[in-house]
Amino acid sequence: MGLSVFVRSSALAPQAQGKLELLFDGFNDDKRELWQIPEVRRFVARLDAVFPYWFFLADLRTETLHLLASCLCRSSELAPGLTGFNQEDLLGFLQRQFDGLNELWELHGLAPGNNVVVTERIVEYFASRRVMN
């Protein structure tokens, strides 16, 4: 069973929405940030290429979306706690994910007003993490 079961099932999708946290184990002793590790970046890129539904599933109380964006965008640490993303890469990531969010909202006939609320929360999520160029 892959992640797709949580977005394709009209019964499971509403229950799974906003509950996923992506974690990596095995890099605890590595001094680099996860987005600086080529193996992690490649894994996230392969996963993202077939699964554009992070905005639907991600728990916004976690660092999941920030980690995904950090791995999928050319990025750099501008200062401690301040990650700079290539704006073109970030816009591409945001577009793919908002397209996936909207696709699932329509597929499952979820209330349109709630999509607006989720979208606003995602925008606030990235703004609160001081994502910059």
Span 59-114, pLDDT tens digits: 999 999 999 999 999 977 777 767 788 989 999 999 999 999 999 999 888 888 88
Q: Quote the CA–CA distance of 98 and 116 in Å, as a whole number.
A: 11
Q: Would you state the pLDDT for residue 39?
A: 95
Q: Is the pLDDT of residue 129 over 80?
A: no
Q: Would you state the pLDDT for residue 24?
A: 92
Q: Which domain holds residue 42?
A: 4-128
- pLDDT-based confidence at residue 131 (cuts at 50, 70, 90): low
Instruction: With respect to residue 49, please indicate whether it lies within any of the assigned structural domains.
Output: yes
Computed over every residue of the chain, the mean pLDDT equals 88
Query: What does 73-91 look like in DSSP terms, one character per residue?
Result: S-EEEEETTEEEE-HHHHH
Say what the pTM is.
Answer: 0.86
Q: Copy the structure tokens of residue 55.
A: 């905005």
The CA distances from residue 88 to 22, 24, 25, 80, 84, in Å, are 24, 26, 30, 23, 12
Instruction: With respect to residue 79, please indicate whether it lies within any of the assigned structural domains.
Output: yes
Instruction: With respect to residue 133, please indicate whether it lies within any of the assigned structural domains.
Output: no
Q: Quote the CA–CA distance of 20 and 85 in Å, as a whole number.
A: 23
Instruction: With respect to residue 37, please indicate whether it lies within any of the assigned structural domains.
Output: yes
Q: Copy the structure tokens of residue 21.
A: 């946290």
